[in-house]
Structure 1
């Protein structure tokens, strides 16, 4: 298959189960780059076997890690995927057709639509999991990732087109994976709040769960996806509450930051 002057960039840590599918879904990329933060499984070997150049880099936080990956790419145009994401055949064909014109323009970036597979099946109605638009294709001279430890975003000026076909996200293969991710993401978010000196507003907490749950379950149509939708809405609401409780603890018991970090590190989550 003809290649295009594009780098596929993936950041990894222990992604042996999914990295091959991710890399193989972008056969037209002239370069495949994996930035690995100390995997102790077969991630690196599998990535190399599937055509990727692997660069080791200790964990910097999501935003900084993506910016580091950007600096290591050999091409100005970059497609970013997570290891548990992969292009559909329809999106791969659309990209091959539209990329030459896009690359020749002054466009800073493009949005891709993400479809989520949850508990082994695609979500059908829950709005953030059906056609969620994410800026994942960009020119590195015209866009940059925010420096957030978690929930980073691509920053750029100008208008960005949206491609039609989706890419797939195999979101958390089990509820255990999801709960561990919640702990990790909450810790990273709270550290960002701590750095910025965000005020503690525990008085909001009694209302947060109900409002967050209703937002996802009713207004984002999770209820139409049955019990899987209920679980997604419940997990999101629990995450919203836990972040506030954990931040309260960080502010009122500063030594908990290091102690929790050590506990998360012991389970491979402090990265």
Structure 2
């Protein structure tokens, strides 16, 4: 299959179960780059066996890590996927048809639609899981990732086209994986808040939980996906509440930041 002057960039840490599927799903990329932060489960060897160039970089946080990856890419146009994501055949065909003209133009980036597989099968109704728009394709001189430790976003100005076919996301193989991810993401977000001096408003906590649940369960139609939808809404609401409780603890007991970091590091959750 002909390749395009584009780099697929993936950041990894212990992604041996999914990295091959991710890399193999982008057959048109002239370069496949993996920026690894210290995997010890075979991720690096698998990535190399599937055509990727692997660069090591100690963990910097999601935004900084993606910006570092951008500097390592051989091509100006970059497609970013997480290791648990992969392009659908329909999106591969659409990109092969439309990318040459787009890359020759002045667009800074492009929007992709993400479809989520949860508990073994795709969500059907929950809005963020059936067509969430994410900027994942960009020209490195026209866009840059925010420096957030977590929940980073691609920043650019100008009009960006949208591809119609989706790419797929296998969202947390088990609820255990999800809860560990909640702990990790909450810690990273709270550290960002701490650095910025965000005010502590614990009085909002009960309302935050309720509003987050109502938003996901009803407004975003999670209830139509049955018990899976209930679990997604409950997890999202619990995450919103836990972040605020943890941030309160950080401000009232500063040594807890280092102690929690040691515990998360012990379980590989500090990156």
What's the TM-score once normalised by structure 1's chain length? 1.00
The question of 1:48 aligning with 2:48 is answered yes
Q: Displacement, 1:208?
A: 1.1
Aligned residue pairs total 271
Distance 1:225 1:59 in 2: 36
Distance 1:210 1:5 in 2: 47
Pairing 1:1-271 to 2, within 5 Å after superposition: 1-271=1-271
SS in 2 for 1:32: strand
Structure 2 gaps, min length 5: none
Structure 1 gaps, min length 5: none
Q: Displacement, 1:207?
A: 1.0
Q: Displacement, 1:75?
A: 0.0
- Where does structure 1 differ by over 4 angstroms across 4 or more consecutive aligned residues? none
Distance 1:20 1:250 in 2: 39
SS in 1 for 2:125: coil
Distance 1:267 1:4 in 2: 39
Distance 2:266 2:102 in 1: 45
Distance 1:207 1:74 in 2: 48
Deviations 1:65-107 (A, max 9, x none): 0000000000000000000000000000000111100000000
Distance 2:209 2:196 in 1: 24
Distance 2:134 2:208 in 1: 26
Distance 1:267 1:77 in 2: 35
Q: Displacement, 1:9?
A: 0.1
Distance 1:80 1:123 in 2: 23
Q: Displacement, 1:178?
A: 0.1
Q: Displacement, 1:206?
A: 1.3
SS in 1 for 2:5: strand
Distance 1:160 1:92 in 2: 18
Deviations 1:142-187 (A, max 9, x none): 0000000000000000010100000000000000000000000000
Deviations 1:236-256 (A, max 9, x none): 000000000000000010000
Distance 1:78 1:193 in 2: 30
RMSD between aligned residues: 0.3
What's the TM-score once normalised by structure 2's chain length? 1.00
